[in-house]
Amino acid sequence: MEEEKRNTDEIDGLLKSFWETFPPIWHATRSLTHQTATEEFGITAAQFHTLRRIKEGKASVSALAECMHLSRPNISRTVDELVNAGLVAREQDAADRRSIGLSLTPQGEELINNLLRTIGSKMKSRFSQLDQKEIKEISLALNALRNIFIKQEKP
């Protein structure tokens, strides 16, 4: 019984640390990403996330809407903007004419790669303040958290 109480107290402390840590980190990372996308690359945050997801293989409006938790009309508007800017191409599926695939154009590929490299460089500069032991401990902890959350999302 005592061990169970101690474990509950430790989990309560972990939860408190989680809420004190992740929202501020997420806010700072999101702000850095959006600022870099808009000010240095001239695209909106929505356009950035759409390009990033297409690069990851989400190659249809439906797939983008699902993974980004947005409506198809919202994603369609963003895709239209990216097509008009020459960053994304639409391709009709030969086997199913109703299916329209999305891919990055060479210009879109170059933009997202440069943007990710720029953001990565800015993040590395923040992480460089950590020593080797801290880097290893944080990496292990993040992997453990990711595994727990992924397990709970899968049916």
CATH of domain 25-128: 1.10.10.10
Are 93 and 101 a contacting pair, CB within 8 Å? yes
pTM above 0.75, yes or no: yes
Read off the pLDDT of residues 55-114 as tens digits, 9 standing for 90 and up: 998 888 888 988 888 988 899 999 999 999 999 998 876 676 677 889 999 999 999 999
Pick from 30, 72, 24: nearest CA to 52: 30
